[in-house]
Amino acid sequence: MNYVAFDTQSSEETGTTPSTEKQRVFAQYLKEELIQEGLQDVVLDDLGYLYATLPANTDKPVPTIGFIAHMDTSPDASGQNVKPRIISNYDGKDIQLSPGIVTSIEKFPELLDHVGEDLIVTDGTTLLGADDKAGIAEIVQAMVYLTQHPDIQHGTIRVGFNPDEEIGLGAHHFDVVRFGCEFAYTMDGSEVGEIEFENFNAASAKITLNGCSVHPGYAKGKMVNAARIATELVSMLPADETPETTEGYEGFFHLTSISGGCEHAQLTFIIRDHDREYFESRKSELTDIVEAINEKYGPGVATLDLKDQYYNMREMVELKMYIIDIARQAMTEAGITPHIKAIRGGTDGAQLSFKGLPCPNLFAGGLNFHGPHEFLPVQSMEKAMMTVVNICKHTFNHIWSV
């Protein structure tokens, strides 16, 4: 409840790291809190990344492991002046957040999975910020729990809190060498029991169209209408391979913006697929379409700027599947049924995995992120906290080859 009072929205407009100074304010607060709770090597670097250590309480050789969460909240909805409240023993009915603002069972049926629990909600004018302040709270509380229960033996545990995850930059400046872990977990998932170690391969594409404007009454053989070509180009893509027509492991082309007129037009896409081969095929398909446009309308009418963003972390995690086994054991011991699912999106863990830190994503408990109907069951937070504790315990008990 205290954490979400900090407005930590990130911004795609500033070009700085962190992208907003208010994230640094929250980071400084967390730094002081971690010191007060007895963690060591607490460092807040110039880019707003916060690292800390809970030292091992055993001499047994155990890999150093880490837990990571992000401090920023989404630019999609306001994070200013968040007013959280707890609905105790939720009765399974529609929730009035404020007069005229209702979180309904019809629209959000997942509420019914949490009848009888204590739900943290907003007043309906802001997001809550459980994404990912719930993850931060769970990690911090787990470190406190381990400090208060020295009978639970564990190796060195590292904690990392980063800015700018919501704008896709959270892992860019994360210092994997300084973090010094063999593996880690991001606590940034949703419903209880989620274990995610598969995500989309991702690319961005910007297509610029250069036309030729001529008086429409005398345009035959002369005009090249960039705006019309833009619509033609979109029609050349598979109509049933878009976000609104796909699910599960199905990939897509997503037109995120289109603008322009006769003289110039621009389209931006994101390309997503879990399968690396299909991902490469999608990029080739878009490249071929641009070439076909140039063949039809002339060289240089269409130019493509295509950039890979991140890859499916499964490639890296599969090399150390004991990371997933430990998470499963940890959840089962906490009375949770593990649910392995693929992320239809990205995660800091994907980029970190390809930087040498295998890093699957675990549930943090919040639901309906990025909007005013976001809610967080307290009991889900407790289960996530105990999952962290149990991971530390099972890492200690795991038989490590020398």
Catalytic residue among 72, 132, 188, 273: 72
Strand partners, 305: 206
Residue 186: phi and psi, rounded to 5, are -90, 135
Describe the crossing of helices 378-397 and 130-148 by its angle, rounded to 10 degrees: 50
Residue 360: phi and psi, rounded to 5, are -70, 170
Q: State how far the Cα of 192 lies from the Cα of 362, in Å rounded to an integer.
A: 9
Q: State how far the Cα of 199 lies from the Cα of 273, in Å rounded to an integer.
A: 8
Q: Which long-range contacts (CB under 8 A, 24 or more apart) does 294-302 make?
A: 297/224, 297/229, 298/224, 300/210, 301/209, 301/210, 301/211, 301/224, 301/226, 301/229, 302/207, 302/208, 302/209, 302/210, 302/229, 302/233
Quote the tokens at residue 1: 């409840």
- If one counts every other C-beta atom within 10 angstroms of the C-beta of residue 360, the result is 28
Contact predicate 31/42, CB 8 Å: yes
Catalytic residue among 165, 198, 273, 374: 165
Residue 2: phi and psi, rounded to 5, are -70, -45
Which of these, 63, 84, 38, 81, lies nearest to 157 by C-alpha position? 63
Active site residue 165: yes
Q: State how far the Cα of 119 lies from the Cα of 158, in Å rounded to an integer.
A: 30
> Mapping DSSP to helix (H, G, I), strand (E, B) and coil, where does residue 263 land?
coil
The catalytic residues are 72, 165
